[in-house]
Structure 1
Amino acid sequence: MITVLAIGGAGALVEEFSRNDVMVVESAIRDEGTSVHYLPPGRRVDFDPDEVQRIVSGLGQHGISARTGITWTTDADFRETHARVERRRAEGCAAAEMEAASLAAVCQFRGVKYAHVLYSGDALHGEFWSERAWTTSTRRGQLLEAAIALRMQ
């Protein structure tokens, strides 16, 4: 079976998801337009728990601490209003990004194992958006190296 591992940055919806923290997605809120073409309508898409734990453990073996969590996938820029952020936080979301639910839906439809790793970038949980200089983070490179090593195991 083919395994796909996506790595990307995400906006933090909670203070506990600090800049450069790492989260392996266990579930994604479906607030985008792609997943409905591959899965029946639903509020969220769940990820394979065994694969999630394999990735968390593998990252730990490479010196990268990772938590598991729920993300909010939205495919529209500037959709993260205060009210929406609060609603997603109430649903347990720690992050917001633009790909996880879509990629998970396609992979489930095609019978492909899939996991998604996010590192925390900008912050959406405060009164004002905080860029937190996340585009200069070295975390993406570290995660890429770990992902390549995990793929070789």
Structure 2
Amino acid sequence: MFEKREYPILEFDPNSKAKINPSNLAAKIEATEYCVITFFGDVIKEMLQSGMLNQVATFYSATVNLPIYETKYNGKSIAIVQGFLGAAGSAGLLEELIAMGFKKFIVCGAAGVLQKGIQVGHLVIPDSAVRDEGVSYHYVAPSREIECNKHALDTIVEVFEKEKIPYIKAKTWTTDAFYRETEDKIALRVSEGCVTVEMEAAAFFAVSKFRNVVLGQILFGGDDLSGVEWDSRQFNSRGEIRKNLVELSLKTCLEL
């Protein structure tokens, strides 16, 4: 029996069996163990229109159904699926992907930058995340931060070094509330060493740790929160960056 705490978010229960388990909703499928989760739906759409994808399953939710595709990269099979915005949806998606049989994941997306000098498109490899969301506390005992899987992190760095791709390896800030990124909170996160802010990394790290699968994440610098005013930097229009990052994620995932 877990202990009642002052705040419900701190009441972590390590019991791996819940009333509803992912296997109740997601059946195991015959597919590769490698999977890329990307938040770049336009890249997936382009791949689908080019005949590169074969749908093997679907993630169903009350608001959106996300097709899970299989493709070939360098002659090897790998799955790709669009990410679900936010920690809660991301955790649910990852849970069902694991239940389907996927075991090795690379997640790629964009993030806001908190420090000056990080250009649009510059790649950031999160080695840990500040847990300013709710999902991770249901998978890992309360702590201020959670680390990325070491094997995944080392593999991403190794690929980047081999390809001579510039990168920053640093802490990210995962928050549920992108409209509550206040000046004081940003200053605190920067003082803790965070260089990016996004909505999913801590949840991905926690679920993958709880379920004992390998997961790493790659972010590209998007909008800028480091100045007096927010600057979108038109990061949503950087199609070539997104396409290249998905390809890099496919390559990296197959090295896990």
Shorter chain as normaliser: what TM range? over 0.9
| TM-score, length basis structure 2 | 0.57
Of the three residues 64, 67, 71, the one matched with 2:165 is: 64
- Distance in 1 separating the partners of 2:115 and 2:109: 17
* Mapping of residues 113-124 of structure 1, within 5 Å: 113-124=214-225
Alpha-carbon contact 1:70-1:92 (below 8 Å) kept: yes
Deviation at 1:152, TM superposition (A): 3.2
SS of the counterpart of 1:94?
Answer: strand
Match of 1:139 in 2: 241
- Classify 1:4/1:41 alpha carbon distance in 2 versus 1 (closer, same or farther; 3 Å): same
Q: Does 1:81 align with 2:210?
A: no
Of the three residues 82, 98, 107, the one matched with 1:6 is: 107
Q: Which runs of 5+ in 2 are unaligned?
A: 1-32, 34-102
Of the three residues 142, 154, 159, the one matched with 1:53 is: 154
SS of the counterpart of 2:111?
Answer: strand
- Distance in 1 separating the partners of 2:133 and 2:154: 26
% identical equivalent positions: 33
Q: Does 1:94 align with 2:221?
A: no
Q: Does 1:25 align with 2:159?
A: no
Deviation at 1:66, TM superposition (A): 1.7
Deviations 1:100-123 (A, max 9, x none): 001110000000111011100000
Instruction: Give the count of matched residue pairs.
Output: 153
Larger radius of gyration: 2
Query: With CA pairs under 8 Å and 6+ residues apart, which has the higher RCO, 1 or 2?
Result: 1
| TM-score, length basis structure 1 | 0.93
